[in-house]
Amino acid sequence: MQPRLTPGNVPPAGPELVRLEGLRRTYGDTVAVRGADLVLRRGEVHALCGHNGAGKSTVVRMLSGQETPDAGTITIAGEQVRLRNRRSAQAAGVALVDQELSVVPALTVAENLVLGDQAAGWLYRRRQVRSRARKMLDELGLDHIDPYQQLSTLGLGERQLVEIARAFGQHAQVVILDEPTATLSDVESERVYDAVRRVAAAGSAVLFVSHRLGEVLELCDRVTVMRDGAVVADVASADLTVNALIRHMLGEAPTTLDKQPAADGEIALRLIDVAVPHRFESLSLDARAGTVYAFAGQVGSGAADVLRAVAGLEPSLRGRVSLGGRRVSSGSPASAARAGIAFASGDRKSEGLFLSRSVGVNLLATRIPDLATGGLVRRGRWRRTQQQVAAECGIDAPLATRVGDLSGGNQQKVFVGRALGRSDVKVLILDEPTRGVDVGGRANIHQLVRRAAEDGLVVLFASTELDELLDLADVVVTMHKGRVVAQHRGEVSDDTLLYEMTHGTSAMVGGRQ
Amino acid sequence: MRRWHQIHRIFLSRPERLLPTSALGITLLAFIALPSYSDAELTSFDTYNALQVFARLAPLVLGLGLTMLAGEFDLSVVGTYALGGMLAVQYGGTDWKLGIAAALGAGVVIGLTQGTIIARLGVPSMPVTLATYIALLGLTNALSGGLSKSYANPDVTLWLDKPVSEVFSPRSLMTIAAFVVIGSILGFSRWGREVRAIGSDRRASRVSGVQSDRVLIGLFVTSAVLAATSGALLNYSLGAANPDPGVQPLILAAAGALLGGVSLSGGHGSVAGLLAGALTVAFLAQIVTAAQLPTYTAQLFYAGLLALIVVVDAPGLQRAWTRGTIRITSRKVLT
């Protein structure tokens, strides 16, 4: 289907800046994009939506010079261009925030901000770079970050903000933001939206890819929807609702999670005065089997650090973690895993998936001892379990596909699926379980998590998304600057959570335990 | 307090700065204190000798270290060093410039070939450079007929090792100059950041706009040119070319690079650190010679040093250290 471009629904934007016509890209036998058309105008914030594997990221890769199209043309400012690499795309005025975090830990913040910027020249003028970096950081409200700070000392969300600051600082005529807010809290996302609006107001075009449909409709002027490699709609966002957008993306009506009240199970996991210096202060929690606990907080609140500490990833953990009455050796991920704690990190690329191995191998990577007899893996049992786990997790990609070739959302499903349905797991820990996952995949993952709780597991997760906290959790623990603000069981309003997460006080009380 | 925080941030929390500075400082102290624990008397000639060892090894440390900084390994440096030296002796008999040009040309061709295979075809550098090392040793032997060749231009030989200000020689000064030039280029240009960036995260560097293939090829060419020139100058200085220098130069170059703070996983290190690493190895060698320690002592010492560096760099050990410290302090609090 061709994009629905009708004169009546075109919002008032500037002249045409980018035109993609008939773009096509195949990988082996798989057609990732089949004849995609897209028009971006000056001063426009244009969303590109679609479920995982719809072809959005491939379009982004072609427009940013990371892939060359098999067929079709790219025209920027009236000139047909051939974007062979990122450098040529930069020369054509295209800046990018990639779906995967693309800043370098070994460099300082300032060095990252000018890395690869051809306009900066070959000479590295330290003072000039520092003042430019300071300005770039300040424009995104990152005044607490020192430009000479090593990037490795920043958290995931702050690194993402540095990458966004870099893209905006290049003063490009086209800025592509592929899932820029996936690792950010609502407050930080707002800062990004402000910056996006400023960049568009200055005459650039912004292509915004996101699975957060609310932010898409709030921020963007137009929405192009892709499904199965083709553009299926191009609509002014004023004419859309979230449900209508989901129908365009999935081709059907959205499903909602049927959340049952948590069973009052036994206390299984106890955190007694646990703390990690400089990350979070002393915290205690008695977690019951069959209950989903959410740790809610902005980036840097310590919410994700609590999960990492319980999973044995913080060697400087103080206090005591016990599971089923037995102490779990702290600071050792192997001991935590042996005790029955499964952890899915928020950084699936460097702390989770084996990107060069197949979907099947990744799904079973943590179950090998169960599938082997006398050290030998039983092939029949291996194949059956692979198929069973893939079906349970709603993974429709062929099991032999390299995980690195999957879309970000499908990678996340594989990552979460690896921790599910295992008899040895008693506690399931998920850091940002639906980061970069489309609305359909998100519902799948939420159902899997609820089912895990119904099967008697303790589930702990951290999320910066209010909708996810409210939809999925039985108990929400809000955190601010490393300190627990409040603990809520049952109904709680999003206003209350947001207030506690941003102010660090529980002035607005709602459903406190 | 603020000053301590600054020292911690720019020095103590950065092993790539702390390691080379500490290693060189301790080695120089041991060198100065040599007469106090051995019968040796310290003279300016000992420093001159140490700097001659430095001139021999440092270009290899620099070449290998630069490729390690970018997350690769150039194991072919010793093969290129042998071939460059042999070509220089063979073609530089009447005019030393011809010999140097032949060595430089060989370095450029070797570096370009290796760099292109590794960067463009994505073949890991370890097998490529190991194969090149073996092939170059074979080629050098074929050129010389398996025998050492003498260099009959005593003017060049004498000039290269002539003492300058008692402790330097033109050769050691040229080596220091190479560090200054390459250090300045990487320190004051964007290429220095790009080399570390591709060593730390190549995909992110590419997405940022770094032309990682070109940077990698440039590094392999630089490494090969340094090795070939160093081999040429050494053989001019010795007045002879040996077709097989053995593996010791490679081992010492790796030790120098690691002592220079270059991380095994790439991304961390600097040219200044590599200079400190090369000086450390050179002065350690002179301590062993001056104190008349048996050769095996030096070998065991280097092996121990390498093991120590690798262990200190191991993340598992750092985790265990932190855990152990917390357990001990927790017990103290409880009692």
Task: Report the residue count for chain A.
Answer: 513
Task: Give the model's confidence band at A435: pLDDT under 50 very low, under 70 low, under 90 confident, else very high.
Answer: confident
Name which of A96, A123, A318 is nearest B207 (Cβ-Cβ). Answer: A96
Can you give the pLDDT at residue A7? 36
For residue B135, is pLDDT > 80? yes
pLDDT above 90 covers a percentage of chain A that reads: 47
For residue A372, is pLDDT > 50? yes
Can you give the pLDDT at residue A186? 76
∠ Cα A397 A101 B310 (to 5°): 100
Residue at B97 is within a domain: yes
Q: Which two tokens stand for residue A396?
A: 């429709």
Query: What residues of chain B, 21 to 80, have a C-beta less than 8 Å from chain A?
Result: none
Contact A294, A149 (CB under 8 A): no
Domain of residue B190: give its range.
17-34+42-292
Contact A458, A287 (CB under 8 A): yes
Answer whether B323 sits within 8 Å of A331, measured CB to CB. Answer: yes
Candidates 2.40.10.120, 3.20.20.70, 3.40.50.300, 3.30.360.10; CATH matching A267-353+424-503: 3.40.50.300
Give phi and psi for B159, each to the nearest 5. Answer: -65, -40
In this structure, the dihedral spanned by the alpha carbons of residues B53, B54, B59 and B64, taken in order and rounded to 10 degrees, is: 90
Can you give the pLDDT at residue A8? 37
Beta bridge partners of A344: A430
Cα separations (Å) of B139 from A34, B106, B134, B143, B146?
Answer: 53, 12, 9, 6, 10
B191 close to A (CB below 8 A): yes
B199 close to A (CB below 8 A): yes
Sequence-distant (6+) residues with CB within 8 A of A467 are A214, A494
Q: Return the residue of B nearest to A149 by Cα.
A: B9
3-state secondary structure of A130: helix
In tens, the pLDDT along B247-278 reads 889 989 999 999 999 988 899 999 999 999 99
A315 close to B (CB below 8 A): yes
* Same-fold call for A7-99+168-250 versus A267-353+424-503: yes
For residue A358, is pLDDT > 70? yes
Judging contacts by C-beta atoms under 8 Å, the chain B residues touching residue A111 are 193, 197
Residue at B2 is within a domain: no
Report the candidate in A311, A240, A249, A310 with the shortest Cα–Cα distance to residue A275: A310
Which of B196, B208, B329 to probe by mutation at the A interface, max A CB count within 10 Å?
Answer: B208
Can you give the pLDDT at residue B324? 74
A122 close to B (CB below 8 A): yes
* CATH (domain of B232): 1.10.3470
Answer whether A315 sits within 8 Å of B322, measured CB to CB. Answer: yes
Answer whether B197 sits within 8 Å of A331, measured CB to CB. Answer: no
For residue A416, is pLDDT > 90? no
B211 close to A (CB below 8 A): yes
Three-class SS of A178-213: ECCCCCCCHHHHHHHHHHHHHHHHCCCEEEEECCCH
Contact B235, B102 (CB under 8 A): no
Domain assignments of chain A as residue spans, ordered by start: 7-99+168-250, 267-353+424-503
A151 close to B (CB below 8 A): no
Name which of A116, A316, A332 is nearest B326 (Cβ-Cβ). Answer: A316
Judging contacts by C-beta atoms under 8 Å, the chain B residues touching residue A117 are 209
Instruction: Say how far apart CA A36 and CA A55 lie, in whole Å.
Output: 9
Judging contacts by C-beta atoms under 8 Å, the chain A residues touching residue B210 are 115-116
Per-residue DSSP letter, A57: H
pLDDT above 70 covers a percentage of chain B that reads: 90
Distance of CA A309 to the CA centre of its chain: 21
For residue A509, is pLDDT > 50? no
Judging contacts by C-beta atoms under 8 Å, the chain B residues touching residue A330 are 323
Mean pLDDT of chain B: 90
Complex ipTM: 0.86
In tens, the pLDDT along B3-20 reads 666 666 665 566 778 889
When pLDDT is averaged across residues A347-369 and rounded to a whole number, the result is 86
Residue type, A90: Q
Task: Give the model's confidence band at B2: pLDDT under 50 very low, under 70 low, under 90 confident, else very high.
Answer: low
For residue B330, is pLDDT > 70? no
Match 């121990």 to its residue by tokens: B304
Match 């990609």 to its residue by tokens: A397
- Split into its structural domains, chain B has a count of 1
Q: Which two tokens stand for residue A111?
A: 């060095």
A127 close to B (CB below 8 A): no
Contact A258, A426 (CB under 8 A): no
Q: Return the residue of A nearest to B201 by Cα.
A: A104
Mean pLDDT of chain A: 86
Instruction: Say how far apart CA B270 and CA A111 lie, in whole Å.
Output: 15
∠ Cα B86 B92 B98 (to 5°): 110
Can you give the pLDDT at residue B280? 94
For residue A339, is pLDDT > 60? yes
Cα separations (Å) of B112 from B59, B105, B118, B197?
Answer: 18, 11, 10, 21
Answer whether B197 sits within 8 Å of A106, measured CB to CB. Answer: yes
Q: Which of A155-159, B105-109, B178-182 comes out lowest in average pLDDT?
A: A155-159
Task: Give the model's confidence band at B116: pLDDT under 50 very low, under 70 low, under 90 confident, else very high.
Answer: very high
For residue B201, is pLDDT > 70? yes
∠ Cα A82 A83 A88 (to 5°): 115
Residue at B270 is within a domain: yes
Instruction: Say how far apart CA A117 and CA A128 lie, in whole Å.
Output: 14
Beta bridge partners of A376: A373
Cα separations (Å) of A234 from A1, A48, A73, A240, A427?
Answer: 11, 9, 19, 11, 44
Instruction: Say how far apart CA B12 and CA A416 lie, in whole Å.
Output: 38
Residue A216: enclosing H or E segment and its boundaries?
A: helix A213-219
Judging contacts by C-beta atoms under 8 Å, the chain B residues touching residue A84 are none
Contact A409, A211 (CB under 8 A): yes
Report the candidate in A478, A475, A429 with the shortest Cα–Cα distance to residue A452: A429
B8 close to A (CB below 8 A): no
Answer whether B199 sits within 8 Å of A101, measured CB to CB. Answer: no
From the CB of residue B320, how many other CB atoms can be counted at a distance below 10 Å?
A: 14
In terms of average pLDDT, the best of A491-495, B188-192, B298-302 is: B188-192
Instruction: Say how far apart CA A307 and CA A464 lie, in whole Å.
Output: 14
Contact A414, A359 (CB under 8 A): yes
Answer whether A105 sits within 8 Å of B267, measured CB to CB. Answer: yes
When pLDDT is averaged across residues B28-56 and rounded to a whole number, the result is 92
Can you give the pLDDT at residue A42? 96
CB pairs < 8 Å spanning A and B: 101
Can you give the pLDDT at residue A418? 85
Give phi and psi for B117, each to the nearest 5. Answer: -60, -45
Residue at B191 is within a domain: yes
Can you give the pLDDT at residue A14? 83
∠ Cα A113 A118 A124 (to 5°): 60
For residue A6, is pLDDT > 50? no
Answer whether B204 sits within 8 Å of A317, measured CB to CB. Answer: no
Instruction: Say how far apart CA B276 and CA B26 lie, in whole Å.
Output: 11
In tens, the pLDDT along A455-501 reads 889 999 998 777 888 889 999 999 988 899 999 987 888 778 877 88
Can you give the pLDDT at residue A510? 42
B267 close to A (CB below 8 A): yes
In terms of phi and psi (left: phi > 0; alpha: psi -120 to 50; beta: otherwise), the region of B267 is: left
In terms of average pLDDT, the best of A384-388, A498-502, B211-215, B309-313 is: B211-215
A477 close to B (CB below 8 A): no
Three-class SS of chain B: CHHHHHHHHHHHCCHHHHHHHHHHHHHHHHHHCHHHHCCCCCCHHHHHHHHHHHHHHHHHHHHHHHHHHCCCCCCCHHHHHHHHHHHHHHHCCCCHHHHHHHHHHHHHHHHHHHHHHHHHHCCCHHHHHHHHHHHHHHHHHHHHCCCCEECCCHHHHHHHCCCECCCECHHHHHHHHHHHHHHHHHHHEHHHHHHHHHHHCHHHHHHHCCCHHHHHHHHHHHHHHHHHHHHHHHHHHHCEECCCCCCHHHHHHHHHHHHCCCCCCCCCCCHHHHHHHHHHHHHHHHHHHHCCCCHHHHHHHHHHHHHHHHHHHCHHHHHHHHHHHHHHHHHHHHC
Instruction: Say how far apart CA B204 and CA B176 lie, in whole Å.
Output: 34
In terms of phi and psi (left: phi > 0; alpha: psi -120 to 50; beta: otherwise), the region of A71 is: beta
For residue A5, is pLDDT > 80? no
Query: What CATH number labels A7-99+168-250?
Result: 3.40.50.300
Judging contacts by C-beta atoms under 8 Å, the chain A residues touching residue B120 are none
Cα separations (Å) of A456 from A259, A290, A292, A425, A435?
Answer: 15, 4, 10, 10, 25
From the CB of residue B12, how many other CB atoms can be counted at a distance below 10 Å?
A: 11
Strands of A368-492, DSSP E: 372-373, 376-377, 427-431, 458-463, 475-480, 483-489
Task: Give the model's confidence band at A341: pLDDT under 50 very low, under 70 low, under 90 confident, else very high.
Answer: very high
In tens, the pLDDT along A95-147 reads 999 988 899 999 999 999 999 998 888 899 889 999 999 999 998 889 999 99
B200 close to A (CB below 8 A): yes
From the CB of residue B261, how many other CB atoms can be counted at a distance below 10 Å?
A: 28
Can you give the pLDDT at residue A440? 73
pLDDT above 70 covers a percentage of chain A that reads: 94
Name which of A98, A120, A149 is nearest B190 (Cβ-Cβ). Answer: A120
When pLDDT is averaged across residues A412-424 and rounded to a whole number, the result is 83
Give phi and psi for A214, each to the nearest 5. Answer: -60, -45
Report the candidate in B170, B174, B140, B179 with the shortest Cα–Cα distance to residue B61: B179
Report the candidate in A503, A284, A500, A263 with the shortest Cα–Cα distance to residue A512: A500
B16 close to A (CB below 8 A): no
